[in-house]
Structure 1
């Protein structure tokens, strides 16, 4: 079975499993796990921030970042197709009483003028705008890389109004590799960053939140409130440390495979995809031209040995990752061509 549902399905390497077995551990709630401390320090240094906090998931990292920087009754601004808004269970409002205000973006990027206009004036009838959230790469925009120039403009507007900025960088290192820059190039325009180890970087569990020390201290309290206080977490931090130090540059292979897949899909009648829009490892196609539902296509592909996912009406998503080879992409295209011909 070729699994293109998500880059979360990656399996830890043998080296990661050995690192888990040999990890030096301690009780992290007491601040005594040396492996997770090394991971947090490494991540913070790479992104140019003061401190880091290991968390169980990207959703936890995003939400404790929001709740550490926005209080009950305040408002955050974010793009209308962002992961924080669509896929995190309304946690900011459910747990923190924080209101969301969404802005329509283009390929995941919010127009800075729209952001400026969305900031609330000082008025007792309106909530205070306390945080702006950006996402890079942008999942619903097909893994698009939001330009650092766009991030800089939004950051400068935020500074004018004494508003903080958080980056949902679940796939930040895909953006880093695609842009040819450094993680700090993106992180310099935000106050906090969350990124995942368990997607393209290939670790089995975990995400990281980095920022200034005061915010990370508050985030540690919120992590405990969420039930995320971890004990001998070095067994999870060890593979994450390998992922961060060894698996970043190889993301370029995933990008090349995604482009190869997009080019092949574009040749199939009834499937719509512009390969030039594929920046990283996510390929989203529109299958309206096939005259069938996305679920029917997904089910038929599964019967033929290929897993992918629905991403909305008539939309199907394919995601490349470290367990997908160039040969797998060739085979996947053969399966899709065969299934589409059969359905027609």
Structure 2
């Protein structure tokens, strides 16, 4: 089975498992796990922040980051297809009393905002009449947008708008590694534009578990308490941190292979159905496909019968995500099969 549902289906390599088996560990709730401490410090340094906090999931890292920026009853703005609004089970409202409003990108690139998209929604100094904007959220790369990348120049412009308005910024950088590899923009250059940043180690980086939230030392200290409140205090979690540390040392540059394989897959699909994929916007390892009149669920079932797993992102939209568990030949074969199904 060629599994392209997500880059979360990766399994730790033999070398990563060895690193996990030999990791020095301690009790992280006491702050005594050396592997956790190293991962948090290295991730924070990489992104240009003071401190980091290891979380069991990207959803928790996002929730803690947004919670630290947005008081109860205030709002955060984000893209209408952002992970925090579509795929985190309403946690920000249900658990933290935070409301959301969303923009629809006018840039022409799926999921990528223009500054006007944000300024049109900002509510500042509105007194007892409207919900006031406390923060905005950017997702880079944008999952449901098809792995698209926010240009660094646009992010700088948004940062300045937010600075002038006293509005905070959170970056859902689950796949920021992919943006870095695709553009050459340093992780620090991305990270330093935001007040809080989450990055994920269990997607393209190939670790089995874990994300890290970075911010100021004070915010991270407060988030550590909130993490415990949510049940996220872990003990000898250095076994998990060791996998992420191995990924930091060995798996960043190889993300370029995933990007190349995504294009191989997409080229096979478009050879059969040119309109299925917008190759111009294929930037990283996520391929979004238009199924036309076909129901996505029907195509997914037919593909599975032929040994290819893909996922659904809309009633007539499909997604394939390349990762370290799939090679170039498998991507070509999977693309050929999906192309045939879409053309039939």
Task: Tell me how far apart the structure 2 counterparts of residues 305 and 227 of structure 1 sit (CA, whole Å).
Answer: 38
Match of 1:260 in 2: 264
Match of 1:32 in 2: 32
The answer to whether structure 1 residue 165 and structure 2 residue 169 are counterparts is yes
Structure 1 residue runs without a partner (length 5+): none
Match of 2:144 in 1: 140
Please say if residues 137 and 169 of structure 1, whose CA atoms lie closer than 8 Å, have aligned partners that are also in contact. Answer: yes
SS in 2 for 1:317: strand
The Cα of 1:48 is off from its aligned counterpart by 0.9
Please say if residues 197 and 243 of structure 1, whose CA atoms lie closer than 8 Å, have aligned partners that are also in contact. Answer: yes
Task: Tell me how far apart the structure 1 counterparts of residues 45 and 341 of structure 2 sit (CA, whole Å).
Answer: 48
Please say if residues 270 and 287 of structure 1, whose CA atoms lie closer than 8 Å, have aligned partners that are also in contact. Answer: no
The answer to whether structure 1 residue 217 and structure 2 residue 228 are counterparts is no
Task: Tell me how far apart the structure 2 counterparts of residues 120 and 339 of structure 1 sit (CA, whole Å).
Answer: 47
The TM-score, its normalising length taken from structure 1, stands at 0.96
Match of 1:316 in 2: 318
The Cα of 1:124 is off from its aligned counterpart by 1.4
Alignment of 1:1-344 (within 5 A): 1-105=1-105, 106=107, 107-122=110-125, 123-269=127-273, 272-288=276-292, 291-340=293-342, 344=344
* Aligned structure 1 segments of 4 or more residues deviating by more than 2 angstroms: 333-341
The Cα of 1:162 is off from its aligned counterpart by 1.4
SS in 1 for 2:232: coil
SS in 2 for 1:195: strand
The Cα of 1:116 is off from its aligned counterpart by 2.2
Structure 2 residue runs without a partner (length 5+): none
Aligned pairs, number = 340
Please say if residues 124 and 165 of structure 2, whose CA atoms lie closer than 8 Å, have aligned partners that are also in contact. Answer: no
> Could you tell which deviates more after superposition, 266-275 or 208-217?
266-275
Task: Give a deviation string over 1:18-55, Cα, whole Å, max 9, x none.
Answer: 11111111110110000000001110111111000000
Please say if residues 136 and 169 of structure 1, whose CA atoms lie closer than 8 Å, have aligned partners that are also in contact. Answer: yes
The TM-score, its normalising length taken from structure 2, stands at 0.96
